[in-house]
Amino acid sequence: MLVSSGKLFILKADPLVLETFDLQKTKEWGRYQPNSPENSHQLTELLLQSDKLRLYEDVGWIQLLHYEKKGEGKFKSEVNSERFFFDPKGRVNPRAELEATIRSFFVTEAIPDSLLHPLCSYPARYNFLKKHLFFEFFDISKVRCDRYKNWKNSLQVNSVSIVFASYYLQSPASYFGHTLLKLNQNANAISQSEILDYGLNYAADAQSINPISYAYFGLTGGYQGKFYLFPYYLKVNEYNDLENRDLWEYEIRLNEEEVDILISHLWELSRAEFHYYFLNKNCSYQLMELLEVAKPNLDLKSKLGIVVSPVDTIKFYLSTKDLISEKKFRPSLYTEIKSKLLEMNAEEKEIFWALTDFSNTRMEVNRLLETPNKIRSDLILDAVLETYRYQKNRGVDFSESAKLSYKQWLNLRSQIKEENLDYKLNFETSFPPESSHPMGRVSLGSGYSNLGSFVEWKYRLAYHDLLNSSKGSTPNGELVFFDGAVRNYEGKRPEFSSLSIMRILSLQPYNSISKQLSYLFDFGWQTTVFTKEKDYFSQVRSIDDSNPYYRKQVSNIDVGVGYTLADEFSKSSPKFGVFSLLAGGKFQSHPSFETGSRFGPNVQGIYQKELGNWKILGSLIAQHYTFSRDLNVGVGSLKLRYLFSDTAEFRLELFSERLYREFNLSFHYLF
């Protein structure tokens, strides 16, 4: 309800009513006509001047309103919230929005308590117009923007950094890695308390993030994207400590004026919402757009492809001359523990594993104290204490005796001065995102099967499979979107043979520290071989009798969960390769099946081993189908990859199942 008090309206309503009232006043102010003849004349002069300068075509204005060119003289803003625009056609008409903005800055009426004067809501637009029109709008309105000034002063931003959070396959929102903006304060840098800085995040406003709904709405723009400001230490705790994600910070070279533009526009974006698409209009895209507002001539968005991955934007920043001034690495808690274990000798590891039982084992304490020349007690205690923190963060409910042991180890560690540390860590196993391979792939191959020889073409939109180099990418994991193949068998027409819409495979090693489960989700189409025998429910199909088999593409869903084992803490890691065992089920659908579909449980084993540029990948699958003529099917494959460079691979693949066998050689180009 709006209660009138003279010329001032007092708002007493819920947030939805407030937003509606805000939208109403915004459009009203966009049509504002001053009562004062002097102000009216000045407004007319400024409108003519802006039109003469064609400010509505200026790259700075186009960036501030997030316009995209849709053809000759046609624009559309990516912002889809109406209250961001003063003109009803402002989303598609930069000229009309510029005129309406200038009009709104002449508003002299009383502003409702819950709202802000346009000059206070849009400080970046104000600075743009003041710079080009050489006019001080505050002389007209006489308003004070205390709320904005207090907010800006509380941030005290001196510089900004792009932060990349590594891939996390346990959460649909984090499959691709993530970028956010860190707002740096000099005072925190000097005091080495940078986690007290603020962070800026762009994310989908998703109430539910189960993989299926998140994938659907994320692909179709069904979520609203918003910017969120928060203390940086909250993200450090979430990413570093809870999700095992390493952080890389890249400081962007911005001058004082550019930092001011970025922060003032960030204030404006509190009124903005966007359609969120996780393949392109995602966190990395929007942060790049925000940086282009601060540096309008940066022009990085024009280099982006159909898919915008966080890691690709990092590569663009680094390839732009003099844009990155400094890089920092913030390892996750698990990376810290792993690095310490890699540093330990055999005896130190033995004590570490004994202490991580967190039982009051006096014998192990004595070994720490009695053999200081052989045992680096600081290294062991640091790893033990971090393991306790890591497991507690992941929900482990420690017993009272374990808590007592933790306090005992903490007391022992406090007696060792930092300057007397006996070890120094390196993080050679943690590769920065810019070292990863390109995400797109095309390949050309040929081979032979019991159905004849063939030539094969493949295309993958994104991102990474197990045979790709893991350097800078998801370790022991696959994240594949739209991976399709077309084959031309000898004497036949080319045919679509497979398409993986989405395949996610996480094979994180299970150990007594992390206890991470492995899982598989695969959805798409694949080729299945049928015999020409008469089935139970229909007549023999009219197929060329020269071959007893025929091929059909069937829809396919495959899921599984299990364990992965690897000698993760060996310096020659993983010394014996990586073994995985998954149990799950498969569902396939096609009219060629007796009942139109088949389904059933399966068990599969996967082995992988990387040796320099070579990698071997083998798998065995035992599949049982219910209500099918082929109740039990065994599938085996063996693949070998040689890496020429980050963009070129050679692969040899062997595949065998009950009715089909093939041998395939292929060359893969990544782009």
pLDDT of residue 619: 98
Tell me if 307 sits within 8 A of 259, measured CB to CB.
Answer: no
pLDDT of residue 360: 59
- Please name the residue ranges forming H helices in 65-117: 94-104
**DSSP letter assigned to residue 162:** E
Q: For 217-273, what is each residue's pLDDT tens digit?
A: 888 888 999 999 999 999 999 999 888 899 999 999 999 999 999 999 999 999 999
- How many Å from the N-terminal Cα to the C-terminal Cα in the chain? 58
Is the dihedral angle over the CA atoms 274, 275, 276, 279 positive or is it negative?
Answer: negative
Which residue stretches of the chain have pLDDT < 50?
Answer: 1-13, 534-544
Tell me if 232 sits within 8 A of 265, measured CB to CB.
Answer: no
pTM for the model stands at 0.89
pLDDT of residue 529: 86
Tell me if 179 sits within 8 A of 203, measured CB to CB.
Answer: no
Torsion of CA 86, 91, 97, 100, to 10 degrees: -20
pLDDT of residue 286: 95
Name the β-bridge partners of 5: 8
Reading phi first (left if > 0) and then psi (alpha if -120 to 50, else beta), residue 299 is in left
Q: Write the CB contacts of 76 (distance below 8 Å, at least 6 apart in sequence).
A: 67, 68, 70, 91, 92
Q: Which of 278, 265, 283 is nearest to 202 (CA)?
A: 283
Q: For 96-120, what is each residue's pLDDT tens digit?
A: 999 999 999 999 999 988 899 999 9
Q: Write the CB contacts of 62 (distance below 8 Å, at least 6 apart in sequence).
A: 75, 94
Cβ neighbours of 408 (radius 10 Å): 15
Cβ neighbours of 319 (radius 10 Å): 12
pLDDT of residue 629: 67
User: Can you read off the two tokens belonging to residue 191?
Assistant: 């005091």
